[in-house]
Amino acid sequence: MKRIALFALTNIAVLVVISIVVRALGLDRWIGAHGVSYTGLLVMSLVIGFSGSLFSLLISKWMAIRAYSIELIKTPGNSTEQWLIQTVREQTEKAGIPMPDVGIYDSPEANAFATGRSRNNALVAVSSGLLHQMRQREVEGVLAHEVAHIANGDMVTMSLLQGVLNTFVIFFSRIIGLLVDSLLQGNRRDDQERSSGTGMGFFIGSMVAQIFLGLLASLVVMAYSRRREFAADAMAARLESRDAMVGALQRLKTIHEGGGVLDDRSASLAAFKISHKYGNWFSSHPPLDDRIRALQEAV
């Protein structure tokens, strides 16, 4: 219910903010003068903006299982699987969330991720490379980090943020398209063209604007994702121990510095992996050194 309420409030907030900005700038009258319904454009932007991100959230678990050929541990077949299930169960009990599905996927990369549409329908997946390259205590830190992502509701929050930004991108890229079209056509546009609002300038301008605004939106999403990594690390330190989490990150750093393999079969899950190789503004993860330092300096 809390997530549904958050979704509803987010939609309302987006509508209110856009309406205030548009009316304050007098864009609603200007949009109408170009034969485009302001209300229709706003509703279309909202529907398109949220539908993609919410659909991705709903199928995220199903998609991850198929993209990575994850073998879910229904009945533990060996001591490693039994230990994984027991560790995640203990951590989720501490976090106060339901037990997620746990699975293993075949990959030489040392990584893990959490996904799912809600806390009640989540998945924690670890790679075979992680189990082979990390000590048991370090893997426990990694698992705690993924459980923290689920407990913090990061999958849902990231989807809502993406939906909000998508709405703004679509709406304002169309306005920029109308502006470009108006500048190109000038006073030579006849009445029929003016009412259609579908000149070539509109399509080119809106397309270019959508690409540019989309890149800016990606910067915001990735910056937020990096903040959530610090939060997940901190919670993992409470669920397991600071030493376990620091040890896991230090091991990941050693592996990456040695040329560890990066497996990105599903780019949409990158934000929820324990580690990512890139260290720039478009990275979903902060540098490992920064994460280690934050844990070591935490009170």
Alpha-carbon distance of 247 to 245, in angstroms, equals: 5
Alpha-carbon distance of 116 to 104, in angstroms, equals: 16
Alpha-carbon distance of 171 to 214, in angstroms, equals: 12
Could you give phi then psi for residue 16, rounded to 5 degrees? -65, -45
Catalytic residue among 138, 140, 146, 240: 146
Nearest to 165 by CA among 31, 5, 50, 15: 50
Burial (CB < 10 A; 0-12, 13-18, 19+), residue 70, is buried
Quick check: is 81 catalytic? no
With the C-alpha atoms ordered 292, 234, 160, 15, is the resulting torsion angle positive or negative? negative
Please give the positions annotated as active site.
Answer: 146
